[in-house]
Structures are given as structure tokens and as C-alpha cells.
């Protein structure tokens, strides 16, 4: 479970962001803060894995909060900037401060959900790594930064990302035999619902094939197998 601290000066916006995070499988909000001072205190109190950080705060800039967090020897926390600030200098300072992603307001649930899922996949990939090669390192950086995948593939339905689709495709390609949506979700680090949407797209675009496995009773199990390379 990834522990998240939501930081925004607007109470209603913070509540909305909290609701979005808590709808994404594998994430839990451990606190909210509405000023820079509250954010720093909340990091000490809750020890989150990830902070959704607004830049415009009433007592100090979110960039100041970021700098103070990075100056602490006992604090290791990832930060996604969630802000209306879009000037180049702010973006540059955020990058130098080590934000893993930068999301510009206003945005919808799907945008934040996608970034959170990418972040979760990148964390899991890092945890599994021993001595990664360049391709594995590049993949983690693309996921962590929320960059689009180099693989283009067929056009995706609204709400699906090319990068996550490439991840699910890779899971199918590396599988020995077929996979259920639950198995694909576990290997990709996604929710079952999200994984199934991508699997259905791969079937519709004829990159994967749906197979039905019949048991002793009840509805048949949906299984998916990669066929694009056949």
C-alpha cells in the first residue's frame, strides 16, 4: 500500500484529490495539509511514500517545501507536483528538486489515476531490480516521469494511455501461456478493472486473443494470450 499525503491550500480541491487517490487500487491517503508548515509537519507525523504537492501555498512556496524535504537526511519521499503553476522557472526548479511528475491543473480523474498507476508500476519495478540493463532503467524512468512510451501501437480509446498499454502488452508477451485479468493486473501492478480495459483493447485490435476456460460449474473464465507476433 502506497501512503499518500495531499497538500493543497484549497480545502475542497484537497478533498477532491483525496477522493481520486483513494479510488486507485494500492493507494491510501494518510493525511491532508493546507500550508507549507502543515505539510512538513505531516511528513514527520505520517511518513508518507508520496506527496501530492501544490506550489501555491499561503505561507511558503511548494518549492520551499520541496527543498526542505530534500535537505533532510532522515526523509525519503517522492513528490508529484499538482499545481496551476506553469511558468518555466517553477517547472525547472521542481525538476531540480526531484519531483517525479508534474501535473498541471485543471485535470480530470483519469489523468491523476494514470500518473498514480505509472508511479506504482515504477516503484514495483525498482523493488524487483537487481542489476538492471539500460532498457530496464529507461523503462523505469519513463514510467516515473509519466512520459509516453516509445511504442506507438493502434490508437487507444479515451482514458487509456499508450504507456500502460505497452506495459500490459509486455506482460502478455512474457507470459507462458494465457493470463486472466487478475493475473495480468498483479504482474503489471494495476487494478483488475484497469488491466481488463487494456486487455479488451488488445483483443479488439487483434494483438491478443480471448480464450474461455470452462470449469466444473459457473461462468467460463476469460483468459488472454498474446498473438500479435504470431
CATH label of the domain that carries residue 84: 3.40.50.2300
- Interior/surface letters 149-168, b for 16+ CB within 10 angstroms, e for the rest: beeeeeeeeeebbbbbbbbb
Count the domains in the chain.
Answer: 2
Q: Which residue is associated with the grid cell 532522515? A: 74
Q: 155, 192, 188: which is closest to 173 by C-alpha?
A: 188
pLDDT at residue 166 above 90?
A: no
Same domain, 69 and 14: yes
Q: Give the pLDDT score at 60.
A: 97
Which of 6-20, 105-119, 152-166 is most confident?
A: 6-20
Q: Evaluate whether residue 48 is within a structural domain.
A: yes
Same domain, 6 and 112: yes
H or E, element range at 141: helix 134-145
pLDDT band at 216 (very low <50, low <70, confident <90, very high): low
Other beta carbons within 10 angstroms of residue 64's beta carbon come to 16
Task: Out of 116, 135, 157, pick the residue that ends a domain.
Answer: 116
pLDDT at residue 152 above 60?
A: no
Q: Give the pLDDT score at 185.
A: 92
Same domain, 12 and 79: yes
Write the pLDDT tens digit of every residue in 16-32. Answer: 999 999 988 889 999 99
Q: Give the pLDDT score at 217.
A: 62
Same domain, 155 and 105: no
Same domain, 39 and 96: yes
pLDDT at residue 227 above 90?
A: no
Task: Out of 116, 136, 160, pick the residue that ends a domain.
Answer: 116
Same domain, 105 and 154: no
- Interior/surface letters 86-100, b for 16+ CB within 10 angstroms, e for the rest: eeeebbebbeebebb
Same domain, 185 and 105: no
Same domain, 93 and 170: no
Q: What is the pTM of this model?
A: 0.65
Q: 160 Cβ partners below 8 Å, 6+ apart?
A: 197, 198, 201
Q: Mean of the per-residue pLDDT values for the chain? A: 87
Q: Give the pLDDT score at 28.
A: 95
CATH label of the domain that carries residue 156: 1.10.10.10
For the chain, give the percent of residues with pLDDT over 70. 92
Same domain, 97 and 27: yes
Q: Evaluate whether residue 140 is within a structural domain.
A: no
pLDDT at residue 150 above 70?
A: no
Q: Give the pLDDT score at 151.
A: 40
Task: Out of 116, 132, 160, pick the residue that ends a domain.
Answer: 116
Write the pLDDT tens digit of every residue in 125-144. Answer: 787 777 877 877 877 777 77
Q: Evaluate whether residue 91 is within a structural domain.
A: yes
Domain extent, residue 153, equals 148-226
Same domain, 105 and 196: no
d(CA 146, CA 213): 36
Same domain, 183 and 87: no
Amino acid at each position: 500500500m502506497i501512503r499518500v499525503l495531499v497538500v493543497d491550500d484549497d480545502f475542497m480541491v484537497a478533498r477532491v484529490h483525496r477522493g481520486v487517490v483513494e479510488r486507485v487500487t494500492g493507494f491510501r491517503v494518510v493525511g491532508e495539509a493546507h500550508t507549507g508548515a502543515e505539510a512538513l509537519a505531516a511528513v514527520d507525523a505520517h511518513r508518507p511514500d508520496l506527496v501530492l504537492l501544490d506550489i501555491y501555498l499561503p505561507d511558503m512556496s511548494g518549492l520551499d517545501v520541496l527543498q526542505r524535504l530534500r535537505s533532510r537526511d532522515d526523509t525519503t519521499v517522492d513528490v508529484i507536483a499538482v499545481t496551476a503553476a506553469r511558468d518555466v522557472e517553477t517547472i525547472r526548479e521542481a525538476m531540480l528538486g526531484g519531483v517525479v511528475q508534474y501535473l498541471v491543473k485543471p485535470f480530470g480523474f483519469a489523468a491523476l489515476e494514470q500518473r498514480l498507476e505509472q508511479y506504482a508500476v515504477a516503484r514495483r519495478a525498482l523493488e524487483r531490480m537487481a542489476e538492471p540493463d539500460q532498457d530496464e532503467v529507461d523503462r523505469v524512468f519513463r514510467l516515473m516521469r509519466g512520459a509516453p512510451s516509445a511504442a506507438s501501437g493502434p490508437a487507444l480509446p479515451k482514458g487509456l494511455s499508450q504507456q500502460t498499454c505497452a506495459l500490459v502488452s509486455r506482460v502478455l508477451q512474457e507470459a507462458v501461456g494465457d493470463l486472466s485479468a487478475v493475473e495480468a493486473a498483479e504482474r503489471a501492478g494495476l487494478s483488475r478493472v484497469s488491466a481488463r480495459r487494456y486487455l479488451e483493447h488488445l483483443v479488439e485490435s487483434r494483438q491478443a486473443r480471448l480464450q474461455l476456460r470452462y470449469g466444473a460449474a459457473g461462468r467460463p473464465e476469460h483468459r488472454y494470450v498474446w498473438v500479435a507476433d504470431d
